[in-house]
Structure 1
Amino acid sequence: MPVMKFGGTSVADAAAMENVINIIRGEIKETAPLVVSSACSGITNKLVALAHDAAEETCPEAFSLSNEIKTHHQTVIDDLIQTESLRKSLHELVNKYTDEINTLIKGVDIVGELTPRTLDAFYSYGELFSTNILAAAMQERGIKTEWLDARQVLITDDNFGQAQPLWDITQENLNTVVLPKLEAGIVVVTQGFIGSNRAGKTTTLGRGGSDYSAAIFGALLNRASIQIWTDVDGVLTCDPRMVPEAKRLKVMTFSEAAELSYFGAKVLHPSTIHPAVKNNVPVYVKNSKRPESEGTLITNDPELLKGMTVSGMVKSIAYKKAQSIINVRSTNMLGTYGFLADVFRVFADNETSVDMISTSEVSVSLTISNTKNLNQIIEDLKHYAEVDVEHNAAIVCVVGDKLRSSAGVAGRIFNAMHGVNIRMISQGASEINVGFVISEKDLEKAVKALHNEFFSEVSGSDVFA
């Protein structure tokens, strides 16, 4: 049986939840699926906004957003639930959660500080609202269902905002609390994204962490598969907002999916891949609006990949906007050791990750997306070298099978970039991706040219649909 994770657009309103219930019903066999749900679309963003409004002493705006969240879920209940007593109990629950949110708003306003721990408390309500409503609707429709607070089973460290699971404790909890219910044919509906530390305080796995929750549960429960239900037909050859004719990938490897995730593809959260890879659990990315579509299978199983991977085959194109290029130049680099260690220590000390790097004898260029500490980074780097910065750049990443060792692929990539100024190139660090940096103003032109080069004549194959 699978773990089925539904994203925010899949549970956005009553009609979307009704559709999800029908999808779940089709998966119920002798053992039941574990259902992991995100908050309704847009709710987490409102919770973030109202939390910051409270910290900035703009409580009227915070309470207004709280009321919008309450009204949204009341509407979903009224549209989805037919039984009057069940509607009443759900409305009471929504009122209770809303009162708790408002209490948090008042507390943050009084203290004047929004800590990661408090922000996690705010975050958690989106999933608590949506899963209670979804579970109740399933029960009303005759599906044996139990709602489960994920904080009872997913135990994490104390890194609020970016918590990591304590695997042994979580494994034991799943085996004793969840597995018997599933084996008895009871669908368990729980939250993605949230957990709790050993002290019982709410933690979150980071934005997009519902995918990670599903992967953790699927790996530890040894499920047959993990299904990620979203609002696109699977992993595509490119972002369809930029290239409407983008094609669906039928199959890809975990490594390819991870590269795409890191370099901007929005279908999967990067952390999702790790538990699935470790336990070799296949991941299906499917469209809840078109459940008949086969979606994309992500796996490392050689039998499932047979005939699906060909050396030099480009699978997809991803990109990351809002990059800043930092160029560091110094003759001290020439023939010396330790220089790069000093450079990267600056980024470590300023808690800033580097996305891409390119080096020569006397210079190093790298890109960052988090510019919060950029001024301090520049000042620190000036102790070692000359520094200049370029803004409004974008990374383009071409992902596929054995690109590094395939003659001609790089030539095709850069021949397609006619008229586009390339600022940095990274090839060789990864077997499966070729990346380069360009100006954001050239991004659409570059991506469309690449897609035309590699996918204009691809259709109906074993790999693409």
Structure 2
Amino acid sequence: MKKIVVKFGGSNLRQPQDIDRVVNVVQTYNRPLVLVVSAFYGITNALIGCVQAAKEGAGTKAALAESRNYTLTLRALKKEIVEANIQDAAHRERTEKALGERLDQLDRFLTGIHCIGDVPTFVNDAILSYGERLSSLLLTEVLLSRGIAAREALPEDIGLITDGVFGNSACDFEASTASVAKALEGNEVIVVPGFYGVDREGKTTLFGRGGSDYSAASIACCIGAESLDVWKDVDGFLSADPGTVTTPRSISQLNYLEAAELSYFGAKILHPRTVEPLFNQDIPIRILNITRPDRGLQPYTIINAQRKVTKDVVKSVTSTEDVAILKLHGPGVGFKPGILAQVTNTLDQNGINIKSVLTAQTAINILLARDHLDAAYAALKEHHLAGVVDVSRNDEVAIVAVVGDGVLEASDVGSAIASRALSAAIASGVRVTLAAAGASEVAAYMLVHQEDRKKALQAVHAEFFGG
């Protein structure tokens, strides 16, 4: 029988009592599973802050004390969780000892930063993986305490090999598939920490922020899983963010491309790369809500290879403020050969990812993640590209996108989908900076002033869904 890979994110792990919900879900399946778990909510952000503080205050007693205080706080939190979820005293003591050993490892890494005054990339990735390492150990012991056959399997032990890119790696499936499939055989529940793998030398490399989804998808690919079940605290994918739109509709089915674009353009249900490992194997992703136990194992949204243009075409409207524009100005930059190649090469050398590029005769607009803007601006200003007379930047923008199979081909009452979206935004007073269609066959998007994002989302959603 094929196994199901089940992923629990940090939103499922906020309070000690949340462990009960996870255990109840595992019991509902009543079959062997592979569980992939994230860090408890907020732990990874705290570790990032701890690394930064240690780096900035390297060598000072105050910074060293701050790092040790954080590990003490983590020890207290884990002890609280253990006491709330494991009743047997001997088992509780054994679990606390094992967690203490991992926290000792973390403490040694943080102390090492103070000694060398720097944070090597491999050390940074190792430190940030400890949130997941603690979650997987803790959940395994809780499952055992409830009489559920379970074991922990670390990525370094199962051979989840990456391409070796620190901070944003990808799974090396050729190197991983056989070892992962063999290591995850068995009739018990196997708990794997998400977010990281190891390179061929055994060093920890992260799959990027939110990368536990990608971890789970990679493992599902390696073992040929029946499905990847992702448990959230929301009702799957919706036609818009319920915090912005009053009555969004639930989306029961998406194809892989639609889900990828929705995630890319701001929907926070899945990591944008989650569908990559599953696409060719047609392994479905099922989105379930852990706060709705009455539904059992019935998903809110299923993502698979089925491509279907619906009557309404647009399935969802999404948005994000994690975008900025870097603009290259010059009378012939859109025509002069080689400029774009130089730009992409320069940004790649600086570890900066390009979201999209829109060109004209006198300007090249490069869309980036907001926190990459300053580094990209500095790199291109320093490079002095021939034909570029000025480089400007703008971080006061947001993306609003419409997603649905057939967005580019379909028409409704003679109006193209992208045109309707743009017209609805402009009619509501939204200031549109750029608009694009054609880069994806299932999505079209516009850049608007950041303060107009909600207004634009509401106007475009009303155009296609009413209200």
Q: TM-score, normalised by structure 2?
A: 0.90
* Offset of residue 350 of structure 1: 4.0
Whether the 8 Å CA contact 1:358–1:425 is kept in 2: the answer is no
| Distance in 2 separating the partners of 1:339 and 1:130 | 47
Of stretches 351-360 and 242-251 in structure 1, the one that deviates more from structure 2 is 351-360
| CA deviation profile, 1:340-375 (whole Å, cap 9, x unmatched) | 434444434444333233223333323222113213
Query: Which of these residues, 1, 4, 24, is aligned with residue 2 of structure 1?
Result: 4
Give the corresponding residue for 1:64: 69
Give the corresponding residue for 2:146: 141
Aligned-partner residue type, residue 364 of structure 1? I
Of stretches 413-422 and 285-294 in structure 1, the one that deviates more from structure 2 is 285-294
Of stretches 430-439 and 45-54 in structure 1, the one that deviates more from structure 2 is 45-54
Describe how 1:212-223 pairs up with structure 2 within 5 A: 212-223=214-225
| Distance in 1 separating the partners of 2:223 and 2:334 | 53
Give the corresponding residue for 1:84: 89
Query: Which of these residues, 279, 285, 288, is aligned with residue 286 of structure 1?
Result: 288
Give the corresponding residue for 2:395: 391
| Distance in 2 separating the partners of 1:311 and 1:359 | 33
Q: CA RMSD in A?
A: 2.0
| Distance change in 2, residues 1:52/1:330 (3 Å) | closer
Indicate whether 1:403 and 2:413 are aligned.
Answer: no
| Distance change in 2, residues 1:3/1:52 (3 Å) | same
Give the corresponding residue for 1:431: 441
Whether the 8 Å CA contact 1:55–1:113 is kept in 2: the answer is yes
Indicate whether 1:155 and 2:158 are aligned.
Answer: no
Indicate whether 1:380 and 2:383 are aligned.
Answer: yes
Whether the 8 Å CA contact 2:334–2:363 is kept in 1: the answer is no
Of stretches 344-353 and 217-226 in structure 1, the one that deviates more from structure 2 is 344-353
SS at match of 1:243: coil
Q: Give unpaired runs (5+ residues) of structure 1.
A: 458-465
Query: Which of these residues, 249, 268, 271, is aligned with residue 270 of structure 2?
Result: 268
SS at match of 2:274: helix
* Offset of residue 14 of structure 1: 2.8
| CA deviation profile, 1:76-112 (whole Å, cap 9, x unmatched) | 1011111111110111122222222222121110100
Give the corresponding residue for 1:200: 202
User: How many residues align structurally?
Assistant: 446
| CA deviation profile, 1:217-268 (whole Å, cap 9, x unmatched) | 1111111100111221111212222224322210001001111111121111
| Distance in 2 separating the partners of 1:337 and 1:382 | 12
Whether the 8 Å CA contact 1:401–1:432 is kept in 2: the answer is yes
Give the corresponding residue for 1:453: 463
SS at match of 1:325: strand
Give the corresponding residue for 2:327: 327
Of stretches 360-369 and 111-120 in structure 1, the one that deviates more from structure 2 is 360-369
Q: Give unpaired runs (5+ residues) of structure 2.
A: 58-62
Whether the 8 Å CA contact 2:358–2:365 is kept in 1: the answer is yes
* Offset of residue 142 of structure 1: 1.6
| Distance in 2 separating the partners of 1:327 and 1:192 | 37
| Distance in 2 separating the partners of 1:383 and 1:329 | 11
Describe how 1:98-247 pairs up with structure 2 within 5 A: 98-153=103-158, 154-179=160-185, 181=186, 185-247=187-249
| Distance change in 2, residues 1:340/1:146 (3 Å) | closer
| Distance in 1 separating the partners of 2:205 and 2:342 | 34
* Offset of residue 192 of structure 1: 1.0
| Distance change in 2, residues 1:35/1:334 (3 Å) | closer
| Distance in 2 separating the partners of 1:160 and 1:352 | 13
Give the corresponding residue for 1:463: none
Whether the 8 Å CA contact 1:402–1:432 is kept in 2: the answer is yes
SS at match of 1:46: helix
Identity fraction in percent: 29
| Distance in 1 separating the partners of 2:117 and 2:243 | 40
Give the corresponding residue for 1:412: 420
Of stretches 396-405 and 365-374 in structure 1, the one that deviates more from structure 2 is 365-374
Whether the 8 Å CA contact 1:108–1:114 is kept in 2: the answer is yes
Give the corresponding residue for 2:60: none
Whether the 8 Å CA contact 1:356–1:426 is kept in 2: the answer is no
Give the corresponding residue for 2:313: 313
